[in-house]
Amino acid sequence: MQKNVIIIAAVVVVAIAAGGAIFFLGSGGNDYENLEVTNLPVYGNANEDYIVDQKDVDLINQIIGTNVSDHPYADADGDGAITATDAEIVKKLINGEKTKVRFIDQHVYDVGTTNIVEVDYPLENVITINPDMLQLTFMFDGDEKVIGYIANRDSYGKTFYKADNNGFTRCLGTSPRMITQAEWEAIKDLDSELYKKNEGIGAILAYNDAALSDYKDDIEVAGIPVIYIRCTDPVLSIDATLLLGFLLGPDYSKKAMNYANDSRKAIVDLTEKVEKLSDSVRTEFIALCMWKYISQHDSQYTKIGLQAGGIDVANLPGNGSNPLNDVEAITIYNDKIDYIMNCRTCDCIKVDPLTLWEDSRIDILKKSSEFKNMFYLNLSIPTPCRVMYVAAMFYPDIVSMSEAHNYFQTMVDKYLSYLNNTVADNDFNVVQDMTTICTYQDYMDAKGGSGDDDIESDIDVVALAERFWNIMKDDLNSNLDPMIDYSYTPYKLSEENNSQMAKVVSDGETYFIKYTLEKDPRAKFSELKATYEAKIGTEARTTGICMEIPYSNALTEGFGYYVNSNPDAQYVLGSMKYVGYIDECLVDLQIVKRPHFTMEDIEKLIYAAYPAASDQDAKAWADAIDTSIFDKYAGSPYKLLLGADKEYASIKAADSGSGDRHINFSTKSDAYTNFTIQKNTFEEKVAGYEGTDTKCYVMDDTGFDEAYGYL
C-alpha cells in the first residue's frame, strides 16, 4: 500500500519584530510558473517580508528607476516602473490613509495562475461567502468591516454571535457556500443602499469560482472585486489572515499578525513533534464530510489530517469529495486504516453524541471494520485548532488531548472572547461548553452503555447522585428566582439516570453534577484539570480572580476553582467548577450562585459531590462498644479482632454458623462504595420477601447520614 504524507516543513525563517517572533512556514512544495508569492503578497511590500513598513519606503527610494523585475513588489501602482509615487502609496498604506492597493490573492491554489486584485484601501463593506470565511475575520475583529455574509445561519448560532450582534453585519442569505438567486438579489439591494450613501461593496471574499456560481460575470460587470481566500487550509488560512488584516488597515493588521504568530508557532511545534515519525508508525486515515462523502486528497478536510501527521489512505485525486454510494466504497478500507475522521460543523455548543452516531446517513459506515474508531471533528473551531485536535487523536502519546484543549482555550481567551457572552456564566470553557471531538466511547457514555459495552464497577453512580441530591436539594431549590441563590432552578434528579451515568441537573441542564463510569476516568480528569489549572490566578470574564478550591474529599484525585465577581460588575455571581475521579467513576460538578459563593457553600458542595476522607478512628469506635451486650446472641462471645487500626476494625462472633456475624467499622476511602453495594444487596433481599408469608421490617435510619437495614 502506497503511503502519502504531507507535512509542512519546519521553520524556514524566524524574524524578530517588535511584536515578537514571526514564524514562516514552507509553502508545501507547490511551484507555479511565474509566481512569486511573499508572506504578504502586497505590491508596496518592496522587501517581500510579512509587513508593509518604513523599510519598504526606504528601499523604494533607494531603487527608484531600477529594473522592476529585481523588486516586483516595489511597483505599488502597477505602472511597470519604480517611482516616487510608489513610495507615496506605501506611506499611505502604513498610515491607513485612503488609496488603491494591489495584491495577489490565493486563487492560484485553485487554478494555478496568479490573480492580481485591486481594491480601495482601507477595505470596507466586505461580503463573505462561506461560514469559515466569516469566522476567520473574528480572529482580528475583521467582522467590523463585514457588512454581509452568506452562510447557513441556523448551524452557527453561537459561532456567529459576534457578527450577529455587532450592529453592522447582516445575513444576506442562508445558502451554505455559494450565491444563489436570492443571495444575488440581496447583494444588489445592499449595493444600491450603499450607493445612496456614496459607498459601495468593497469586495466579496470567496473560496473559489464555485462559490460565485452563475453570478461571476454579473459581479465583474458590477465592478465588485472578488478576493479568493483559502480560509480552511491549515496553513494558507494563516497567510490569509495576514492579508485580510492588512487590507482592513493598521489596527486590524496588528491583531491579525498576533493571531498568525500564535497559529504558525503551534503548527511548527506540532510539525517538529511528528515529522520524525517513520511511515510505518504514522496513523493511517480517511477523511469524511457531509456524513458519508469521502474527501479527496487535496480537500480542506484531508489536509487537516495530513497536517496532523497522518497518511491519507484513500489518496483520491482532487480537492472535493466522492459520495459513498455502496457498501464496497467503505469496506475497501477495512483493516487498512486506523481512524475515520468525520468532519461536521456543530456550532460552539455541547452536542448530544446520539444525534451524530444514530443519524441514518451513517448507516453505511457501520459496515466498516473501523466504525468504532471513527471520530467526529467539530469544524466550528479555528483551523489550526482542528489540526491540534486531530493530532491528539492520531498521536496521544505525542500531543495530549489536554494540550489541544489548552491551545484552543488560549485562542478563545485571546481572539474569540465573544464566546463568553454565549454561555450562562460568561466564561466559555472549551471542554465543558462545546463538543470538539466526539468518539464512539462518548456515544456509548451518552447512551448509558449496552450489553458488553457497559463498564462494570463497584461504584453506584445512581446512589452517588441521590446522595448529592439528598444533601443539597434544599439549598439548590431554596429560592426559585434565577437571580437569587443557586441559578437556573429548579434542580432535580435527571430522568435519564442509569447504571452508567447519573446526574443532578438545573433547569435546562446548564449546571449539574454528573457521575459517569469511564474506561479511563483519569484521562478525562486530566483534560479538565489542565483547563482549570490554567484559570487559577487569572481574572474571569465576570471579573474576580479564579481561586483554587481548597477542600478535598475521598476521591482519588480532585481539582477545581471558584470565582466571585466584583460587587459592581455587570454580572454579579459566583461560579465554581470541580472534577475528580475514583475507580471507574468521573465526577463533574458545575454550579453558579448569586450573588456569590461563601466558603461554607463550596465546602458543602465538595462534600456532597463525594464523601470526605473520614477523620474518625475505626478502632476507637470499636473499643467504645461493650461486647458483653452481645452475649445473649447466637455465636457469642463477640470480640475485637487483632489488627484493628484507625481505618478498619471488626468485632466478630466466635461462631458465625452458616453466616457472618459481625460489626465492621471502616473509614477507608471506599467506605461509601461498600455501603452502597451492601445497601443494594439488602434492598434486593427485602424485595424478595414481598408476596410471601415472611414479614420483613426495614430498620430506622435515625442518627445516620445514610443507613439501611432489615429484620
d(CA 184, CA 547): 52
- With 0-12 / 13-18 / 19 or more C-beta atoms within 10 angstroms meaning exposed / middle / buried, residue 81 is middle
pLDDT, residue 319, reads: 86
Please give the sequence-ordered ranges of beta strands (E in DSSP) within 525-641, or none if there are none.
547-548, 557-564, 574-582, 585-594, 638-640
d(CA 590, CA 508): 13
Q: What is the mean pLDDT of residues 487-505?
A: 88
pLDDT, residue 27, reads: 37
Residue 110 banded pLDDT, cuts 50, 70, 90: confident
Q: Which amino acid is at 10?
A: A
- With 0-12 / 13-18 / 19 or more C-beta atoms within 10 angstroms meaning exposed / middle / buried, residue 604 is middle
Mean pLDDT across the chain = 87
Q: Choose the weakest-confidence range: 67-71, 213-217, 379-383, 644-648.
A: 644-648
Q: What is the mean pLDDT of residues 83-108?
A: 96
pLDDT, residue 482, reads: 59
Cell triple for 6: 504531507
* Region of residue 479 (phi > 0: left; psi between -120 and 50: alpha; otherwise: beta): beta
- CB–CB of 254/19 below 8 Å? yes
Alpha-helix residue ranges (DSSP H) falling in 64-148: 84-95, 108-111, 131-138
Backbone angles phi, psi at 46, to 5 degrees: -60, -40
d(CA 611, CA 608): 7
pLDDT single digits (tens) 531-588: 899 889 998 877 899 999 999 898 999 999 999 988 887 778 899 999 999 999 999 9
Task: Give the highest mean pLDDT range of 390-404, 469-483, 632-646.
Answer: 390-404
Q: Choose the weakest-confidence range: 151-160, 593-602, 657-666.
A: 657-666
H/E stretch holding 205 reads strand 203-206
pLDDT single digits (tens) 448-457: 654 456 788 8
Domain limits, the chain: 35-118, 455-613, 618-688
d(CA 322, CA 491): 48
Cell triple for 14: 524566524
537-to-408, 426, 533, 561 alpha-carbon distances in Å = 19, 17, 9, 10
Measure CA of the first residue to CA of the last residue in the chain; give whole Å: 70
Residue 335: pLDDT over 80: yes
Using only the alpha carbons of the chain, give its radius of gyration: 32
Tell me the CATH architecture of domain 455-613: 3-Layer(aba) Sandwich (3.40)
Residue 38 banded pLDDT, cuts 50, 70, 90: low
CB atoms closer than 10 angstroms to residue 141: 18
- Give SS3 for 603: helix
Backbone angles phi, psi at 133, to 5 degrees: -65, -45
Beta strands 648-653 and 662-666 are antiparallel
CB atoms closer than 10 angstroms to residue 642: 6
pLDDT single digits (tens) 239-282: 999 999 999 999 999 999 999 999 999 998 898 888 888 888 89
Cell triple for 313: 489512505
Residue 510 banded pLDDT, cuts 50, 70, 90: confident
Cell triple for 442: 462518548
Residue 653: pLDDT over 90: no
Q: Which residue has the cell 450577529?
A: 164
Cell triple for 186: 440581496
Residue 14 banded pLDDT, cuts 50, 70, 90: very low
pLDDT, residue 159, reads: 95
What is the topology classification, in CATH, of domain 35-118?
Type 1 dockerin domain (1.10.1330)
Give the number of residues written for the chain.
Answer: 711
DSSP-assigned beta bridge partners for residue 501: 516
Nearest to 414 by CA among 262, 554, 518, 543: 262
